[in-house]
Amino acid sequence: MTNETTILEGYSNLEKGAYLGALASLATADRIASAEELDYLRALIETAAISEDQSALIMHAATNDVADEDLEKFLQILKTSELRFSLVSDVIAFAHADNDYSEAEQHKVKQIASYLDVSDEQVSVLNDFTDKAVQESEQHAQSAATGDTGKTDPASFFGGLGFGDKLKNAGINTNSLFRGALGIIGPMLLARMFSGGRRRGTTGGGGGMLGGVLGGVLGGRRGGLLGGLLGGGRGFGNAAGMLGRLFKK
């Protein structure tokens, strides 16, 4: 692993664990993650350089029937973290994954955002930003998988979207957002990490970790991390039930 593939840089282990734990909880609500999904999570955990105790919490969220209280704990930690904006962006990508961003899903996004103290104005900007970023990230993941790393630098990618001023004006720290938002940049960075078969068994579309990790994105599914592999193209799916119980409380 090299420094250029490190994600979530600058965040504490607690924040990293809460962020990836929340993603795993939402994406695998009321079901157990598949082997392909677990490979993807392990790769993200490795590139994020997360401590063993937080890694264990993340994997537990993906391999067990997670209690609503566990998701609530993750969200409570993220309330005071800049990663809350990244999570909202990921959830928007999740909702878009089935190409049907319904009113019910929009309502769930607003509920999560409100819980995390993200304003309606910020949600609106994040929605436009995420929609454009997801569309363009698939092309960049393709470039990274073929070793064309010159086109896959996250800062350059996000800068080219033209949302910098809009995000800043809405009170969103762009540097922090760009270090998270794994629904967008996760596949891109992992593709770059595994390009050229730097690991044994990582090349090839049908087998090895690269085939599993990138299959959802390079196969044309929308939504990056959540919508591609962890979301399986289902949109909110079973997570709607978990969120409904949480917010009802």
The number of residues in the chain equals 249
**pLDDT in the model for residue 236:** 57
Contact yes or no for 190/228 (Cβ under 8 A): no
**pLDDT in the model for residue 225:** 46
**pLDDT in the model for residue 227:** 46
Instruction: Give the count of beta carbons closer than 10 Å to the beta carbon of residue 28.
Output: 26
DSSP 34: P
Q: Give me the residues of the chain with pLDDT under 50, please.
A: 1-5, 196-214, 216-229, 231-233
Contact yes or no for 147/187 (Cβ under 8 A): no
Instruction: Give the count of beta carbons closer than 10 Å to the beta carbon of residue 184.
Output: 31
**pLDDT in the model for residue 154:** 67
**pLDDT in the model for residue 126:** 94
Q: Rounded to an integer, what distance in angstroms lies between the CA atom of residue 156 and that of residue 153?
A: 5
Place of tokens 């962006």: 89
Helix axes 83-96, 103-115, angle to 10 degrees: 170
Q: Rounded to an integer, what distance in angstroms lies between the CA atom of residue 212 and that of residue 57?
A: 22
| pTM of model > 0.85 | no
DSSP 204: S
For the stretch 135-167, pLDDT in tens is 777 677 666 666 665 555 666 777 788 898 999
Distance of CA 174 to the CA centre of its chain: 16
Residue 137 φ then ψ, to 5°: -70, -30
Give domain limits for the chain: 3-248
